[in-house]
Chain A
Amino acid sequence: DAKTTQPNSMESNEEEPVHLPCNHSTISGTDYIHWYRQLPSQGPEYVIHGLTSNVNNRMASLAIAEDRKSSTLILHRATLRDAAVYYCILRDMGQTGANNLFFGTGTRLTVIP
Chain B
Amino acid sequence: ETGVTQTPRHLVMGMTNKKSLKCEQHLGHNAMYWYKQSAKKPLELMFVYNFKEQTENNSVPSRFSPECPNSSHLFLHLHTLQPEDSALYLCASSQGDFTGELFFGEGSRLTVL
Contacts and interface: CB of A to CB of B under 8 A. Distances in A.
B88 to A, nearest CB: 9
Interface in B26-79: 30-31, 33, 35, 42-43, 45, 48-50, 55-56
Contacts of B42: 103-106
Contacts of B4: 43
Contact of B56 (A32, A98, A105, A106): A98
A42 B4 CA distance: 12
Contacts of A43: 4, 90, 92, 104-107
A56 interface: no
A99 B94 contact: yes
A34 B98 CA distance: 11
Interface residues of B, number: 29
Interface string A80-98: 0000000000011101111
Contacts, number: 74
A44 B43 contact: yes
A99 B99 contact: yes
A97 B55 contact: yes
B96 A103 contact: no
B105 A100 contact: no
A19 to B, nearest CB: 22
A98 B33 contact: yes
Given A43-B90, A105-B42, A99 B98 contact: yes
Interface in A33-52: 34, 36, 41-46, 49
The 4 closest A-B pairs by CB, nearest first: A43-B104, A98-B31, A46-B101, A103-B43
